[in-house]
């Protein structure tokens, strides 16, 4: 495990982090919500390492971070109008949008299902990694499954540090709350996890009343 300091507001990704990701390694880095445990999202072996490091059941999905709409389109079979409206309003930011997974995208990302949760993070360093890598990056919280999500690099090091190749220390995450997760494959869309974006704000963006799932989905 190596730890290097970064400016979370920087639009430049550290070369050490990019080298690690391209080699199939795991990098923990700050986002607007929590520290994320990142790997190249289209590298199935690297994604499997994320699940192993978190001790996460393979039937539970992990969110994927993107730098822009072009990267988003590589992950999904289609972008429903509701998804586009939500991205226009809340991205970059703490909203994860669940769409149908594109063919060829690792099933493990969606917990073995046919959907995938994607968001554009609100912290520049997180987007810089995706942009410089040229690929989406797994963005699940950098903690052991079932334990509190980390808001500092020290928290990451004490928890999953032995299984992570590199930790980017960008200080405390600004929100310290999970992203809201909305599934737009259903009609009407469904809030499957409450988070930093309120139900009222999502309903206002879509102009319709939504249903909130009875049980929160782990992302």
pLDDT band at 207 (very low <50, low <70, confident <90, very high): very high
Q: Work out the average pLDDT over 42-59.
A: 97
Reference 99, options 138, 136, 56, 63; nearest CA is 63
pLDDT value for 73: 97
pLDDT at 216 over 70: no
Does the pLDDT value for residue 19 go beyond 80?
Answer: yes
Adjacent-strand bridge partners of 28:
37, 167
Q: Which pair of structure tokens corresponds to residue 163?
A: 């299984």
Q: Which of 4, 1, 5, 12 is nearest to 124 (CA)?
A: 12
Q: Considering only residues 45 and 212, tell me which one the structure prediction assigns the higher pLDDT.
A: 45
Residue 74: the pLDDT is 96
Alpha-carbon separation of residue 134 from 32, 74, 169 (angstroms): 21, 11, 22
pLDDT tops 80 at residue 211: no
Residue range 127-145, pLDDT digits in tens: 999 999 999 999 999 999 9
DSSP string, 18-77: HHHHHTT--EEEE-SSSEEEE-BTT-HHHHHHHHHHHT--TTS---EE-SSHHHHHHHBS
Residue 176 has pLDDT above 70, yes or no: yes
Task: List, in order of start, the domains of the chain with CATH numbers.
Answer: 2-212 (3.90.870.10)
Q: What is the structure's pLDDT at 217?
A: 62
Give yes or no for residue 49 having a pLDDT over 80.
yes
Q: Which one, of 166, 177, 173, lies nearest residue 13 by Cα?
A: 166
Mean predicted lDDT score pLDDT of the chain: 95
pLDDT recorded at residue 219: 72
pLDDT, one tens digit per residue, over 60-116 is 999 999 999 999 999 999 999 999 999 999 999 999 999 999 999 999 999 999 999
């Amino acid at each position: 495990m190596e730890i290097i300091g970064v400016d979370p507001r920087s639009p430049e990704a550290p070369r050490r982090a990019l080298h690690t990701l391209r080699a199939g390694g795991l990098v923990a880095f700050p986002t607007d919500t929590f520290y994320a445990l990142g790997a190249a999202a289209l590298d199935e072996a690297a994604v499997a390492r994320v699940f192993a490091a978190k001790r996460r059941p393979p039937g539970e999905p992990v969110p994927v971070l993107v730098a822009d709409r072009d990267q988003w389109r590589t992950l999904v079979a289609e972008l429903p109008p509701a998804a586009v409206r939500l991205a226009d309003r809340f991205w970059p930011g703490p909203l994860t949008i669940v769409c149908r997974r594109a063919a060829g995208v690792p099933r493990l990302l969606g917990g073995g299902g046919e959907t995938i949760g994607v968001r554009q993070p609100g912290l520049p360093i997180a987007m810089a990694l995706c942009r410089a890598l040229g690929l989406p990056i797994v963005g699940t919280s950098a903690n052991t499954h079932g334990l509190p999500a980390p808001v500092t690099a020290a928290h990451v090091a004490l928890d999953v540090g032995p299984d992570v190749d590199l930790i980017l220390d960008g200080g405390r995450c600004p929100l310290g709350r999970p992203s809201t997760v909305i599934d737009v494959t259903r009609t009407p869309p469904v809030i499957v996890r409450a988070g930093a974006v309120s139900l009222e704000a999502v309903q206002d963006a879509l102009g319709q009343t939504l249903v909130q799932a009875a049980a929160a989905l782990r992302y």
